[in-house]
Chain A
Amino acid sequence: MRKKIDSAFSVLIYLLTACSIMALGFVIYFIVKEALPLFQEVSLSEFLLGKRWMPIDYTGTTAFGIFNFIVATVYVSFTAIILAVGIGLGASVFLSCVATESMCGILYPFVDLLAGIPSVVYGFIGLQVLVRIFLKAGVRTGTCVLAAGILLAVMLLPFLVSSCSETIRKEKKKYEAAAAALGIGRWYAIATIILPASWKNILLSMILAIGRAMGETMAVMMVMGNANLFPRLLGKSESIASVIALEMGTAEYGSTHYHALYGAGLVLMLLLFIINIGINMLRRRIVSNQGRDAE
């Protein structure tokens, strides 16, 4: 009897695991299925490289080009990571080299609070504070790519801090005693040995963070102005995720517009898959290299 329950439990675990794996398959299948009809009407190059997005034919012709949206998505993510990495890396040096273990027990959850704040609240505060500051500073409408970049940078901080400080802590464990034995000062050792040793892993977390920024919808949509323009730092623009969120409600089911929005979603998803799979391969290579060094 007991044996039967045990094997039933194993089967349950197998089934549930299969469910989680299949979730990915289901998502890909449905997005691709809804996106494919688009390419009977619009060619792939026209879709990816076209700059005109006219889903409804007010002026006679429709056009589905998402080039500006793609560039804006990448542009705002890079702005965010450039702004976030200086502060994030400094904070992780503090957490891994200055804070004691009991301090970390409080400070990590404190920094993680940032990850818990809903993105709508970020967008709301961005509109109320950042956009007003930009208005006063003379940016015409206040909403701009830089505002979205700053918001995204804050949203990326907890992720950067936790992954970077883990890396730095590992390297510190490896070299700290040896450095102290040679009489090298603690901060000098951090600057010249520990940080250079962890730069590869820090770069990986930066790329992952860019991926996260690209998928972010609400906060970006609320402060970026949402106009189909080539992105400039102080100008309006629109990211792929915002286009989908804004226009999905008005797109007629089964129309070209509807399929084009799924096509944009597919492009965004593929970008993120490339980043994630690439990171996975790079990380494996770094781990195996380190294994060889140790031998």
Chain B
Amino acid sequence: MRWLGNLIKAWAYISFALVCAVILFLFGFVFYRGAGTISMEFLTEAPRGLILGEEGGIFPAIIGSLMFTGTALVLGGIPAIATALFVVFYCSNRYLEEGIHLVIQCISGIPSIVLGLFAYSFLVRDLDFGRCIFSAGVALAIMILPFIEVRAEKAFREVPVHIVQSSYALGCSRLYTISRIILPSCRGELVSGLILGGCYAMGATAPMIFTGAVAYAAVPDSLFAPAMALPLHLYLLVAQGATSMDTAYGTAFVMMAIILISNLLATVYARRSEKRWKNS
């Protein structure tokens, strides 16, 4: 019966090699094809050309994407971390805790396009904000809320119970315990969760097609103006066909580079976090 073990072994090694090959191919392909387009002008100029985007750069799209992501992180990250704190340190009712978990899981199940529909009907139409960064930011915030909450809650649960209880026993309040012990020791996971959540929001197109991102706009000066976004810009360039392929590869290059750098940062930062209880 040796062959069965060997079969599983070969299967595991081959599948993992395949996964690695796919990752290297995706990044390598985009970097190889896009490298020729990247220049200072491409990164700092607005798109130009008879067919928009054929010439010129993607500067407004980069800034727009950063503003969408920032709005989503502020609006989604704070409630997410607060919810995680509530579930771990404040909630004493088991049914309430399970209920919150179910709600969070359901939010993570809402398709991003449906969040776009929601933001369109509620913010763009009923509250009359129009298509703007804020409207799309709300949709993106709801999208990344469960993503950050799950990571934050996992980090909080890893803090040993005896440290928290010692703190309470010494008469420290919950606020003091959270701000002096819990948050500093989980800083690495929290920051890396926020960075990865930001990447997730930056790459999403569906929620902002009809709520805030537009084909062409100047660099936005407020949160209530429409803006360009990298993923939508790439989609439109691809939809225009063969003439704008070079700038399309360039745009994809920029997005993949942002993803790669933020993932690196998140990984390094998560590892640096101090786990004093582990050393002692």
Report which A residues bind B (CB closer than 8 A): 2-3, 5-6, 9-10, 12-14, 16-17, 19-21, 23-24, 26-27, 30-31, 33-34, 86-91, 93-95, 97-98, 105, 109-121, 123-125, 127, 129, 154, 157, 161, 185-188, 190-192, 195, 211, 214-218, 222, 241, 244-245, 248-249, 253, 261-262, 265, 268-269, 272-273, 275-277, 279-280
6 CB contacts below 8 A, A to B, read A6-B176, A13-B90, A30-B121, A90-B16, A253-B125, A265-B117
* CB <8 Å contact, A27 and B114: yes
Candidates A20, A112, A265; contact of B149 at CB < 8 Å: A20
Cβ contact within 8 Å between A118 and B204: yes
Structural contact, B205 and A218, CB atoms closer than 8 A:
yes
Contact of B121 among A33, A93, A97, A249 (CB under 8 A): A33
Interface residues of B in 125-146 (CB under 8 A from A): 125-126, 142, 145
A-chain residues with CB within 8 Å of residue B238 when the two chains form the complex: 123-124, 127, 222
B114 touches A265 (CB 8 A): yes
Given A20-B104, A276-B109, the answer on whether A13 and B82 have CB atoms closer than 8 Å is: yes
6 A-B pairs with the lowest CB-CB distances in the bound complex, closest first? A90-B15, A118-B203, A215-B111, A187-B5, A16-B82, A94-B16
Question: Which of B6, B80, B248, B259 is in CB contact (< 8 Å) with A116?
Answer: B259
Known: A10-B90, A113-B259, A121-B255. A185 touches B15 (CB 8 A): no
**Complex Cα gap A10–B174 (Å):** 9
Known: A16-B82, A20-B83, A276-B105. A30 touches B118 (CB 8 A): yes
Collect the chain B residues with CB atoms within 8 Å of residue A14's CB: 86, 90
Interface string of B240-263 (1 = CB under 8 A from A): 000000001000100110011011
Give the CA-CA distance A195 to B11 in the complex, in Å: 13
Minimum CB–CB distance from B146 to chain A (whole Å) comes to: 9
CA distance A165 to B110 in the complex (A): 25
Q: Are B263 and A113 in contact, CB atoms less than 8 angstroms apart?
A: yes
Partner of B117, one of A34, A114, A115: A34
Stretch of B23-31, B42-50, B51-59 on the interface side: B23-31
- Asked if B206 contacts A21 (CB within 8 A), the reply is no
Range of interface residues on chain B?
35 or more
Query: B229 → chain A, closest Cβ, in Å?
Result: 10
Q: CB distance B19 to A91 under 8 Å?
A: yes
By the criterion CB–CB under 8 Å, are A17 and B86 in contact? Answer: yes
A192 (CB) vs chain B CBs: closest residue? B4
Out of B14, B79, B205, name the residue touching A20 (CB < 8 Å): B79
Given contacts A187-B5, A191-B5, 17 further A-B contacts (CB under 8 A): A9-B175, A13-B85, A16-B79, A24-B107, A30-B121, A31-B117, A87-B15, A97-B12, A110-B20, A114-B19, A119-B231, A124-B234, A125-B29, A154-B22, A190-B5, A262-B121, A277-B106
B112 & A17 in contact (Cβ 8 Å cutoff): no
Taking a contact as CB atoms under 8 Å apart, the answer to whether B23 and A110 are in contact is yes
| CB nearest to B232 among chain A residues | A120
Say how far A20's CB is from chain B's closest CB, in angstroms: 5
By beta carbon, the residue of chain B nearest A89 is: B15
